[in-house]
Structure 1
Amino acid sequence: MIRRRSGTMLAAVLAAGCLLTSACSSGGGDGKAKQTSNAFYEIFVRSFADSNGDGIGDLNGVTSKLDYVKSLGADGIWLMPINPSPSYHGYDVTDYYGINNQYGTMEDFQRLLAEAHKRGIRVIMDLVLNHTSSEHPWFKNAESEANSEYRDWYVWASKLGGDVPADGAAGPAPWHKVGSDQYLGIFWDGMPDLNFDNPHVREELIKVGQYWLKKGVDGFRLDAAKHIYGDFKTTANSKSVQRKNQAWWQQFRAGLNEVNPNAYLVGEVWDTTAIVGPYLDKALNSAFNFDLAAQIIAVAGSEKATDIGFTLSRVHEFYSKNSGGAFTDAPFLTNHDQARVMTALQGNVNHARMAAAMLLTLPGNAFIYYGEELGMTGNKPDEQIREPFPWSSKSDNSSVTTWEPNNQGDIAVDAEDKDSHSLLNTYRTLLSWRKQEPALRSGTIASYETDNESVVSYLRSAEEKEEEKGKEKEKQLLVLHNVSGEPQTVELLAATKSQPTVFKKLLLATDKSAKLEGSKVVIPAYSSVVLSP
């Protein structure tokens, strides 16, 4: 039997009112609040939609599919790198102020922004600041002239003196020879690391962020955020390195605030809660919750519940202390660097359904990697995790990209769109729940004890305005997920001092045969219910 910890809400309440404009309901022109889902859809432009028949996805292709994003229920998109780059993925930038010409023009990008905002969809873009491409003019100049003004924009072994550390934090050998010297590139030789001890580098990269905010982007996903100074395994997590990383991101945030104080920053800090926390202090709004992603997939795959509510409430308590309450969690399942959800769950669509249900009933800005909602599969090498998006099962569909083979079989939007029981329509249902109930997308999370090893349960709470009185009042919901293939019955708890709420109404259910009889809830196999007082 699993024992759940009941008790008071351990998660700290997010800052009063809207923490971020981009993370809260915003007022419309009619003075009424717009419904939001606080969900971002991650798009690899090269694979998403082709508008001109060259086989490569482009910005106009993304624009043409914004109504699909809207119909899914997401109200944000994250564009993987769109800057010029010599590689297919774009994580080695040659021009921070430009658009990859395979994806289109600046005018195309501005049109995408305008059309997205017209639909209430926020746009954040990948910003790769830890390193440039080795083809960037800065580096080409630096490697060719020892006295170049850009020489000190990168890190050279000759300037370190003494022993040169060889334990690259990312795995490969970190030093790469040019002439009689070596430059640092912890990911590979095509990505030389920038020298953030150089104030000119810092100033320039702040200008880059400001430039795109002025263009109208709503924020950034920050690649390799903990590697600004995290170059070597032996020092990456040292206090001094962490402080230097934190100081840089605080400086970056301060620079962005001059243009848009509400710009949303979510960082890739692939590490433990203890490492992530300091990045949320006057710097990042969010960091992707990698530990939570692994936990959700493990629960869905094993069909064995864990106390996500307790674990996450403690994480949020820690993040709140580090940020003064000014943080937003960023839960997700997988991304462009990991095996796809359906592959991780060995092709079991019911397990994928339950992973989605857990993700989309948790607080914060939920991130969905394109194709998760269809059950796309894929594993390393990376190209197979980033395959063309299957818009149609018809071979003559012009929107489908062809830069990489499509190994998705019969999976396609048009087929799942018509199937009310498809994974796609499950995602739509869950995202509609987030729009309907603020307590499912923001606020706090806490444990709820059921003693059922097949049922994941947690409490969700958020402040909601009472329409008639215009006052804020806390609304609490109980979320129950039956992650097993058998129906489960849960006996609801009687009121206690630590948990006085009694849940009497079956508010939402993914399976219509779910029922509440007195204090007993019957939850069909592989389904979820939400109860209210």
Structure 2
Amino acid sequence: MKKILFFLFVSAYSFAQIDKVEPPFWYENMNLSQIQIMFYGKNIAQNTVSVSNGIVITGVQKTENPNYIFVTIDTKDVLAQEVVFTFKNKNKSFTQKYEIKKRKENSRLRESFDASDVIYLLMPDRFANGDLSNDSTPNTTEKADRNNPGGRHGGDIEGIIKNLDYIKSVGATAIWPTPLCEDNDKTYSYHTYAQSDVYKIDPRYGTNEDFVRLSAEMKKRNLKLVVDYVTNHWGAEHWMFKDMPTYDWFHQFPGYGQTNYRMTTQFDQNASKIDTKYCMDGWFVKSMPDLNQSNPMVLNYLIQNAIWWIEYADLNGFRVDTYSYADKVGIAKWTKAITDEYPNFNIVGEVWMYDQAQMAYWQKDSKIGAIQNYNSYLPSVMDFTLQEAIHNGVFNDDEASWFGGIIKVYNNFTNDFLYPNPNSLLVFFENHDTDRINEIYKNDFKKYQLALTLIATTRGIPQIYYGSEIGMAGDKSKGDADIRRDFPGGWATDTTTAFTKEGRTTEQAKYFDFTSKILNWRKSKNIIHTGKLTHYIPENNVYVYFRHDEKESVMVVINNSKDKQTFKVERFKENLEKYTKGIDVLSGNSFDCTKEITIDGKSSLILELK
């Protein structure tokens, strides 16, 4: 008798079990009203499904894996409420509550990032440890070990929140943290690009509620939150990889197949099919299974997940990792679905290529893409050719030549005609995957000044990387950990802190004060955000350009020569004819703009013209 009762208990328990519901809830009045809810549990597909309150089920999809059932409901005109799903198998049934939540006012037209912003990129694990209690958690494998350069160091969401005022003081208006969702890899999990649950913040960073609180605290300070979203791959520890809904949820070769990283195959009309397949479908690395965006269920899952996070955490934008490795048709549909839901929402894609035509292919409404009837719908791409010029030591080129010196920067902008919207490009001199600029230029402060002046005043959206504003360096050849060092003062055991004026060394203060001055000035300068860019061919390694409109003009001079230079201004008459004087933003000095201007070697001027 006891055996029979035990059997009945186990059967009923396994029958009624639901382990996951995704999305965990939805919102009223969404453009995406046909919402496909995934229910996951042991043999759940054996059931029929119904729902309460007159909600219409428009589709039920089962796969070869009986642990999944996908139920599509129509939420059009459905107000915020709780509904109940009933799962039934013969004479047994169980229920699952599901909530349609009220949407934030004006959510659809939410503000996003643009050229008026400066984005501060940080790695949460390496920025600041605000909560010691979550450094290691029982349900995640890798534990904190700050002595391991490639291990987890304990930085978290609370650490970001506690230092928001610092970030704002730098002059940033938006924050891009590298991914925050759970990454349960056994080692090297701190970067969190190999996510194991995309509806859950990594518990070593905090909770979903902590993330929402971060967003709210940022809004209080007029800071925008740009989330690093990964569409191309998940981690091998992702629970859905361990129990796949369908065999083709991930690209199979069978199993692992390495990408060739040749993104040119995405548009090369001469490319072989096998090369194209291995670029798009191959895995970025063995620990990151490649998602199959050409599978409609996968694509729908990613669209819903992205929109859910935007609505839930009140996000202001996305940076999309490895954008050009995804199925290009699928990623375009994903991007369009999000921007259809949020017309002002900006998304910048990582298209790591060193050719303007190839990068321009990926920007929304590209004439180059149109040749192949392709539109990515992606508003912004990253200006890697500008970054390349800076990384290749343009500011080390003291002597000008036909191809050398500051002409490399000038030539970058001569190809802006290829982009549908060059002012929406992300401009930067480093990020979390590259050598730090202060490593490249060996902490030559003058060269840092030149680089920051450039990205802060040219067209596009500037992005800086945490720590460079205090002179942090890092050599990628020593491993990624060297370019992702802990921010000094982010840990209670640190003996110094760069988060405060009093704590900064003289050298750190020199970098910080310059960075803060130029970026805080930029905040209110609409002419820099939206003004036309007119530049002049460099002479004697001196590059001059203007940001201007009918009413206002700013003249930028970058002297890449080590020698003091004096130049006549007659050549710039078309931009100077209304102006006689310029006040340098950096020094406060006044310059006569009617005859000639003298500038020190390896220095810059930002002249507000009067």
**Equivalent-residue separation in structure 1 for 2:528 and 2:538 (angstroms):** 20
- CA gap 1:378/1:92 in 2 versus in 1, 3 angstroms: same
Does residue 600 of structure 2 align to residue 524 of structure 1? yes
**How far apart, in 2, do the equivalents of 1:167 and 1:71 lie?**
42
- Alignment of 1:141 with 2:243, yes or no, is yes
Question: 1:221, CA displacement in angstroms?
Answer: 0.7
**What is the identity percentage for the equivalent residue pairs of Structure 1 and Structure 2?**
28
Aligned-partner Cα distance in 1 for 2:498–2:220: 30
Shift of 1:513: 5.6
Q: Which among 103, 111, 121 is matched to residue 223 of structure 2? A: 121
Q: Distance in 1 between matches of 2:543 and 2:434?
A: 25
User: Which residue among 509, 512, 527 is the counterpart of 1:424?
Assistant: 512
| Letter of the structure 2 residue corresponding to residue 253 of structure 1 | T
In the TM superposition, residue 515 of structure 1 has moved relative to its aligned partner by 3.7
Give the whole-Å Cα distance in 1 for the aligned partners of 2:423 and 2:585.
30
AA at the equivalent of 2:210:
D
Q: 1:169 aligns with which of 261, 277, 280?
A: 261
Matched, 1:316 2:416: yes
Residues 440 and 258 of structure 1: CA distance in aligned 2, closer, same or farther (over 3 Å): closer
1:200 partnered with 2:297: yes
Q: Distance in 1 between matches of 2:398 and 2:572?
A: 29
Once structures 1 and 2 are overlaid, which stretch shifts more, 194-203 or 305-314? Answer: 305-314
How far the C-alpha of 1:480 sits from its partner, in A, is 0.3
**Structure 2 CA distance for aligned equivalents of residues 439 and 327 of structure 1:** 12
More deviation in 357-366 or 254-263?
Answer: 254-263
1:300 maps to what in 2?
Answer: 395
- Specify which of 95, 103, 112 is matched with residue 22 of structure 1: 112
TM-score by length of 2: 0.66
**Judging changes above 3 Å, is the alpha-carbon distance between structure 1 residues 441 and 399 closer, same or farther for their aligned structure 2 residues?**
farther
Alpha-carbon distance change, 165 to 421 in structure 1, aligned in 2, over 3 angstroms: closer
Partner of 1:273: 356
Q: 1:54-78, CA deviations, whole angstroms, 9 ceiling, x for partnerless residues?
A: 4511101101111011111110000
TM-score (norm 1): 0.75
Q: Is the 8 A contact 2:579 2:593 kept in 1?
A: no
Which deviates more, 520-529 or 351-360?
Answer: 520-529
Letter in 1 for 2:168: K
**Aligned length in residues:** 440
From 546, 561, 568, the counterpart of 1:459: 546
User: 2: distance between equivalents of 1:494 and 1:306?
Assistant: 18
Question: Hey, what does 1:157 align to over in structure 2?
Answer: 253
Contact 2:583–2:589 (CA under 8 A) maintained in structure 1: no
The residue identity in structure 2 corresponding to 1:97 is: Y
Cα distance in structure 2, aligned partners of 1:311 and 1:501: 26
Please list every run of 5 or more consecutive structure 1 residues that lacks an aligned counterpart in the other structure.
Answer: 1-18, 25-35, 143-148, 172-182, 230-244, 401-405, 463-472
- How far off its partner does 1:310 sit? 4.6
Question: Compared with structure 1, are the counterparts of its residues 495 and 457 closer, same or farther at alpha carbon in structure 2 (3 Å cutoff)?
Answer: closer
Deviation track 1:219-249 (CA, whole Å, cap 9, x = no partner) reads 11100001014xxxxxxxxxxxxxxx1x333
* Residue identity matched to 2:451: A
Q: CA deviation at 1:447?
A: 1.8
Note closer, same or farther for the CA distance 1:421–1:480 as it changes in structure 2 (3 Å cut): farther
Secondary structure at 1:56's aligned position in 2?
coil
**Bigger Rg, which one:** 2
Q: Is the CA contact 2:317–2:347 (under 8 Å) kept in the aligned structure 1? A: yes
Structure 1: which amino acid aligns with 2:339? N
Report the Cα distance in structure 2 between the residues aligned to 1:317 and 1:23, rounded to whole angstroms: 23
1:431 CA drift (Å)? 0.7
Unaligned runs of 5+ in 2: 1-108, 136-152, 264-279, 366-376, 400-404
In structure 2, what is the Cα distance between the partners aligned to 1:478 and 1:309? 16
1:511 is aligned with what amino acid? S
Can you list the C-alpha shifts for 1:422-470, whole angstroms capped at 9, x where unaligned? 01111111112312422223333222246232x22112224xxxxxxxx
In structure 2, give the amino acid aligned to 1:127.
Y
SS in 2 for 1:102: coil
Contact 2:259 2:282 in 1 (8 A): no
Q: Report the counterpart of residue 365 of structure 1 in structure 2.
A: 461
Q: Structure 1 residues 97, 303: closer, same or farther in 2, change over 3 A? A: farther
Gap change, CA 1:259 and 1:296, over 3 Å in 2: same
Give 1:226's aligned residue.
324
Structure 2 contact 395–406 (Cα < 8 Å) conserved: no
Paired position in structure 2 for 1:290: 384
Aligned mates of 2:492, 2:317 — CA distance in 1:
31
Shift of 1:352: 1.4
User: Match for residue 33 of structure 1?
Assistant: none
- 1:194 shift after superposition: 0.9
CA, structure 1 residues 426+197, in 2 after alignment: closer, same or farther (shift >3 Å)?
same
Q: The residue matched to 1:486 in structure 2 has which SS?
A: coil
Question: Counterpart of 1:257 in structure 2: which amino acid?
Answer: T
Q: Secondary structure at the match of 2:545?
A: strand
In the other structure, the counterpart of 2:124 is: 45
Match of 1:59 in 2: 157
CA distance in 2, matches of 1:474, 1:20: 30
C-alpha contact 1:98 1:106 (8 A) present in aligned 2: yes
> SS at the partner of 2:530?
coil
Q: Which has the higher strand share?
A: 2
Distance 1:75 1:273, change over 3 A: same
Alignment RMSD (CA, Å) = 3.1
Change (3 A) 1:510 1:127: same
In structure 1, distance between residues paired with 2:563 and 2:190? 45
Q: Distance in 2 between matches of 1:416 and 1:166?
A: 45
Contact 2:583 2:590 in 1 (8 A): no
The corresponding residue for 2:527 is: 439
CA–CA distance in structure 2, aligned partners of residues 312 and 526 of structure 1:
20
Shift, 1:187, TM fit: 2.3
User: Conserved in 1, the CA contact under 8 Å of 2:154 and 2:204?
Assistant: yes
**Aligned AA (1:422):** K
* 1:481 and 2:589 are equivalent in the alignment: no
User: Aligned AA for 2:458?
Assistant: L
| Higher RCO (C-alpha 8 Å, min separation 6) | 1
For 2:160, the aligned partner's letter is: V
- Please say if 1:187 is aligned against 2:281: no
